[in-house]
Amino acid sequence: MATYKIDAAHSEVTFKVKHLMIASVTGQFKEFDGSMTAEKADFTDASINFEALVNSITTGNDQRDGHLKSDDFFAAEKFPKLTFKSTAIQKLDEETYNLTGNLTIRDVTKPVTLKVTYGGQIIDPWGQTKLGFEIEGKINRKDFGLTWSATTETGGIVVSDDVKLHLNIELTKQA
């Protein structure tokens, strides 16, 4: 059984949400951790755990970040972490997988399926085994209790319900 840990210095956890339905706002979580254990070389038996600290959210705008941490959205004081725990992995081809698991945001846990692209494996200059993955998906924020909404004077929506997730993850094999 091999265990891998996220190399946070070489990984990123980002999301995009439509604002006013005409442009996207990009945000990221700066503090996160995760691990994967697998026995099979093709990762089809992998078990994955991930968590991000809600207070580490940043969109490049302090006022918006404060609003996202408030009870209108993540309620960071009550629910300081969002978590993901895998339940199934389906190999589609040599580098593509569907990863299903339980995502918990606030106090709501729902199953989600994410598309994973395997970038490969390499031994770095320090002799460590590294794996690379790109993960994409989409969730409806309201499914997780992030229900704040507003409309413009013309009836347009200020913040989309759909949130696009994009993670670039580098894992380091543990001794």
Higher pLDDT among residues 166 and 21, named by residue:
166
CB-CB contact of 110 with 103 (8 Å) = yes
Q: What is the residue extent of each domain of the chain?
A: 2-173
Strand (E) or helix (H) holding 136: strand 129-140
Q: From CA 156, how far away is CA 24, in angstroms rounded?
A: 15
Q: Residue 146 pLDDT more than 90?
A: no
For the chain, the average pLDDT equals 91
Q: Residue 23 pLDDT more than 80?
A: no
pTM to 2 decimal places: 0.91
Higher pLDDT among residues 101 and 20, named by residue:
101
Place of tokens 């389906």: 90
Fold exhibited by the domain 2-173: Lipocalin (2.40.128)
pLDDT digits (tens, 9 = 90+) for 86-135: 999 999 999 999 999 999 999 999 999 999 999 999 999 999 999 999 99
